[in-house]
C-alpha cells in the first residue's frame, strides 16, 4: 500500500513537471525524477489535509488523486514528441546527443573517475542511511516527539484531530508547525491501517537523496557533467547531512523546496522572455517550503524582498509580472497555512512570547555577541568535515573566478536571499523566549543545513566553466 501511495504522488509530480518542461529537450528524466517525487508528496499532503478538513472520507482522497493523474495524462499527451524526448529520448536528435555524450565520457578518464566516486559515495551513504534507520527506526527526538507523534494524532482521530489541536496548549508539541511531513505520514498510516515506522523512514530517504540528485542534475544542466557530479559529492561527503536525513527531521524536506524554488526561478530567467508556468511552479515549491517548516514563511518573505533588488537590472513592470506569477503559485498553499494557523493551531511560542522584554533583548549587546560567536563557530565546524569546506569554496572562486554573464539575475537575487535568511535567523535568536545558548545549540546547525544545498547550487553555477546552458534556445521555448 505504501508503494502504491508513493507511486500516486510520483505520477502526480512527474506529470505536472513534464507539462512544465514539455519543450525543453535538455531536461533529463533523472532531473524530472528528483524534482517531481517530493513535489508530488507535497501536493498529496496538501490535498489530504485540505479535503480532510472539509470532512471528505479518507478512502476517496486517493481516488481524487487518480482522477487528477488521468487529467494530467491527457494534458501530457498534447506535448507529443517533447514528452517522449524527455522521458525516453526516442527522437533521432536525442539519440545522437546521447551517443556523443557517451563517446565524450569514455574519452574523459577524470570524468569517469569522478562518476565512479559519486556512485560509490551514493551507495555508501544509502547503506549508512538504512543502517542508522534500522538502529533508530523512530528517528531522533524531534521526529518521534513532534513530527511523527502529531501524525499519530491525525491517524487515530482523522475527523477530530483539528479540534484536539485547537484545544491543546502545549509548547512542547509545537502544534503550530506546518503539516507537510506529518500530514503525509498520517495519510499513509490511515490507508495502510498500520502505523509502520517505514513510512517516515522512506519519506526521509526520498527527500534526502532527491535533494542530492536534484542538485547534481540541475548543476549539470546549467554547467557540465563534471561540475554536477562534484556538486552532488559535496553534499554526499558532508557527514552531518546524512544524519539530518536519517533523523527523520523536516530540515532536509524544507531544504529541498528551497533548492527547487531557486532552480525553477533560474530556469524561468534563463531566456529572454517571461515564463509564467516556471514562475508558478517556483511559487508552488516556495509554498510547499512553508508547508514543511515555519522557516519556509521566512523564506517566502526573503524571496520577495530579494527579487526587488532586481529593479537595478530589469524593467519594473516585467519584474512585477514575474512576482505576480510567483505569488499565484504559492497562493493555494498559503491559504491552507493561513487557515491552519488561524483556526486550528495555537500561537507560535516565539511570536506569542513577545512583549516588553523584546525591546530589552534587542538592546542587549551581549546577545549579539553570543549569537555572532555561534555563527562564526558554525562556519568553522560546519557539517562535521575533517577540513573546513569554506576554504575549498574560496579556492574555487580565486582559481576559476565568477561568471555573472549567465544567470546574473538569479545568482544575485539568490545570494541576497541567503544573506537575508541568515539575518532573519539572527533576529529570531535575538528575541527568542528560550534560553539563548540552548536554542542556538539545538538548532543553528540545522538552519544552516537548510540553506546549504541552495548555496552549493548557486556556487557551482556561478563558477566559470567551459559552458553555460547547453541549449539556451530550448529553454527560451519552455
Render pLDDT for 194-208 as a digit per residue (tens, 0 to 9).
999 999 999 999 999
pLDDT recorded at residue 91: 53
- Using the predicted structure, report yes or no on whether residue 263 has a pLDDT greater than 70: yes
The answer, yes or no, to whether residue 61 has pLDDT greater than 90, is yes
pLDDT band at 210 (very low <50, low <70, confident <90, very high): very high
Whether the pLDDT of residue 404 is over 80: the answer is no
Residues 6+ apart with CB under 8 A from 135: none
436 Cβ neighbours under 8 A, 6+ residues apart: 367, 370, 371, 429
Burial 205-216 (b: 16+ CB within 10 A, else e): bbbbbbbbbbbb
Q: What's residue 90's pLDDT?
A: 52
The 10 Å CB-count burial string (b at 16+, else e) for 26-55 is: bbbeebbbbbbbbbbbbbbbbbbbbebbee
pLDDT at position 80 over 80: no
State pLDDT tens for residues 406-460.
778 888 899 999 999 999 999 999 998 888 999 999 899 899 999 999 999 999 9
pLDDT, one tens digit per residue, over 145-186 is 888 999 999 999 999 898 888 777 655 678 889 999 999 999
CB under 8 A, 24+ apart: contacts of 62-65:
62/5, 62/8, 62/191, 65/8, 65/9, 65/12
Between 218 and 167, the more confident residue is 218
What is the predicted pLDDT for the residue at 87? 58
Phi-psi category of 273—alpha, beta or left, where left has phi over 0 and alpha has psi -120 to 50? beta
Mean pLDDT of 86-97: 53
Task: Give me the chain's average pLDDT, please.
Answer: 85
Q: Give percent above pLDDT 70 in the chain.
A: 84
Q: Which residue has the cell 493523474?
A: 69
Which residue segment(s) compose the domain that 383 sits in? Answer: 2-477
Residue 101 has pLDDT above 70, yes or no: no
Q: What is the mean pLDDT of residues 286-293?
A: 96
Q: What is the pTM of this model?
A: 0.91
Least trusted range by pLDDT, from 312-321, 329-338, 367-376:
312-321
Question: Helix 436-462 and helix 251-268: axis angle, to 10°?
Answer: 30
* HEC per residue, the chain: CHHHHHHHHHHHHHHHHHHHCCCCCCCCHHHHHHHHHHHHHHHHHHHHHHHHHCCCCCCHHHHHHHHHHHHHHHHHHCCCHHHHHHHCCCCHHHHHHHHHHHHHHHCCHHHHHHHHHHHHHHHHHHHHHHHHHHHCCCCCHHHHHHHHHHHHHHHHCCCCHHHHHHHCCCCCCCCCCCCHHHHHHHHHHHHHCCCCCHHHHHHHHHHHHHHHHHHHHHHHHHCCHHHHHHHHHHHHCCHHHHHHHHCCCCHHHHHHHHHHHHHHHHHHCCCCCCCHHHHHHHHHHHHHHHHHCCHHHHHHHHHHHHHHHHHHCCCHHHHHHHHHHHHHHHHHHHHHHHHHHHHHCCCCHHHHCCCHHHHHHHCCHHHHHHHHHHHHHHHHHHHHCCCCHHHHHHHHHHHHCECCCCCHHHHHHHHHHHHHHHHHHHHHHHHCCCCHHHHHHHHHHHHHHHHHHHHHHHHHHHECCCCCCCCHHHHHHC
With CA atoms as reference, report the closest residue to 150 among 407, 340, 290: 340
Confidence band for 478, pLDDT divided at 50, 70 and 90: very low
Q: What is the mean pLDDT of residues 285-292?
A: 96
Residue 475's pLDDT band (boundaries 50, 70, 90)?
Answer: very low
CA–CA dist 285, 279 (Å, integer):
10
Q: How many domains does the chain have?
A: 1
Pairwise CA distance, residues 178 & 161, whole Å: 14
Q: What is the pLDDT of residues 114-147, one digit of tens each?
A: 899 999 999 999 999 999 999 999 988 888 888 8
Give the pLDDT confidence of 348-401 residue by residue, as tens digits.
Answer: 777 766 677 788 888 889 999 999 999 988 877 776 666 666 666 766 666 666
Measured CA to CA, the distance from residue 295 to residue 119 in angstroms comes to 32
Model confidence pLDDT, tens digit, residues 226-261: 899 999 999 998 878 888 888 999 999 999 999 999
Residue 108: all three cell numbers together: 574523459
Task: Tell me what pLDDT residue 199 has.
Answer: 95
In angstroms, how far is CA 238 from the centroid of its own chain?
18
What local confidence, expressed as pLDDT, does residue 473 receive? 42
How many C-alpha atoms does 324 have within 13 Å on its Cβ side?
9
As a whole number of angstroms, the distance between CA 291 and CA 256 comes to: 12
Comparison of pLDDT for 287 and 81, the residue scoring more:
287
Amino acid at each position: 500500500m505504501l508503494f502504491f501511495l508513493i507511486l500516486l504522488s510520483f505520477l502526480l509530480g512527474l506529470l505536472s513537471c513534464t507539462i512544465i518542461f514539455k519543450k525543453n529537450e535538455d531536461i533529463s528524466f533523472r532531473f524530472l525524477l528528483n524534482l517531481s517525487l517530493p513535489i508530488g508528496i507535497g501536493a498529496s499532503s496538501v490535498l489530504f489535509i485540505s479535503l480532510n478538513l472539509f470532512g471528505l472520507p479518507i478512502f476517496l482522497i486517493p481516488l481524487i488523486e487518480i482522477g487528477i493523474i488521468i487529467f494530467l495524462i491527457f494534458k501530457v499527451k498534447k506535448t507529443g514528441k517533447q514528452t517522449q524526448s524527455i522521458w525516453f529520448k526516442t527522437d533521432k536528435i536525442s539519440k545522437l546527443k546521447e551517443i556523443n555524450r557517451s563517446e565524450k565520457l569514455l574519452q574523459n578518464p577524470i570524468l569517469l573517475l569522478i562518476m565512479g566516486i559519486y556512485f560509490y559515495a551514493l551507495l555508501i551513504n544509502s547503506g549508512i542511511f538504512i543502517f542508522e534507520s534500522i538502529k533508530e527506526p523512530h528517528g531522533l527526538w524531534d521526529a518521534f516527539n513532534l513530527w511523527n507523534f502529531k501524525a499519530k494524532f491525525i491517524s487515530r482521530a482523522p475527523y477530530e484531530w483539528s479540534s484536539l489541536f485547537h484545544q491543546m496548549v502545549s509548547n512542547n508539541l509545537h502544534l503550530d508547525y506546518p503539516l507537510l511531513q506529518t500530514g503525509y505520514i498520517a495519510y499513509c498510516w490511515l490507508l495502510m491501517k498500520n502505523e509502520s515506522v517505514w513510512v517516515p523512514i522512506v519519506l526521509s530517504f526520498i527527500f534526502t537523496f532527491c535533494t542530492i540528485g536534484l542538485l547534481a542534475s540541475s548543476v549539470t544542466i546549467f554547467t557540465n557533467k563534471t561540475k554536477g557530479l562534484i556538486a552532488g559529492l559535496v553534499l554526499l561527503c558532508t557527514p552531518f547531512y546524512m544524519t539530518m536525513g536519517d533523523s527523520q527531521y523536516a530540515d532536509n524536506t524544507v531544504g529541498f523546496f528551497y533548492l527547487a524554488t531557486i532552480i525553477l526561478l533560474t530556469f524561468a530567467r534563463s531566456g529572454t522572455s517571461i515564463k509564467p508556468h516556471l514562475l508558478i511552479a517556483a511559487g508552488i515549491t516556495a509554498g510547499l517550503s512553508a508547508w514543511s517548516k515555519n522557516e519556509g514563511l521566512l523564506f517566502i518573505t526573503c524571496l520577495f524582498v530579494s527579487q526587488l533588488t532586481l529593479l537595478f537590472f530589469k524593467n519594473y513592470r516585467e519584474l512585477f509580472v514575474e512576482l505576480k506569477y510567483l505569488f499565484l503559485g504559492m497562493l493555494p498553499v498559503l491559504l491552507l497555512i493561513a487557515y491552519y494557523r488561524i483556526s486550528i493551531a495555537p500561537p507560535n511560542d516565539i511570536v506569542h512570547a513577545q512583549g516588553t522584554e523584546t525591546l530589552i533583548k534587542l538592546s542587549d549587546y551581549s546577545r549579539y555577541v553570543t549569537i555572532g560567536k555561534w555563527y562564526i563557530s558554525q562556519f568553522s565546524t560546519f557539517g562535521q568535515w575533517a577540513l573546513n569546506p569554506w576554504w575549498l569554496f574560496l579556492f574555487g572562486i580565486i582559481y576559476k573566478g565568477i561568471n555573472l554573464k549567465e544567470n546574473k539575475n538569479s545568482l544575485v537575487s539568490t545570494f541576497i536571499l541567503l544573506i537575508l535568511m541568515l539575518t532573519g535567523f539572527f533576529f529570531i535568536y535575538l528575541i527568542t523566549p528560550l534560553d539563548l545558548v540552548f536554542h542556538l545549540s539545538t538548532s543553528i546547525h540545522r538552519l544552516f543545513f537548510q540553506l546549504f544545498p541552495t548555496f552549493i547550487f548557486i556556487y557551482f553555477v556561478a563558477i566559470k566553466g567551459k559552458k553555460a546552458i547547453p541549449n539556451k534556445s530550448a529553454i527560451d521555448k519552455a
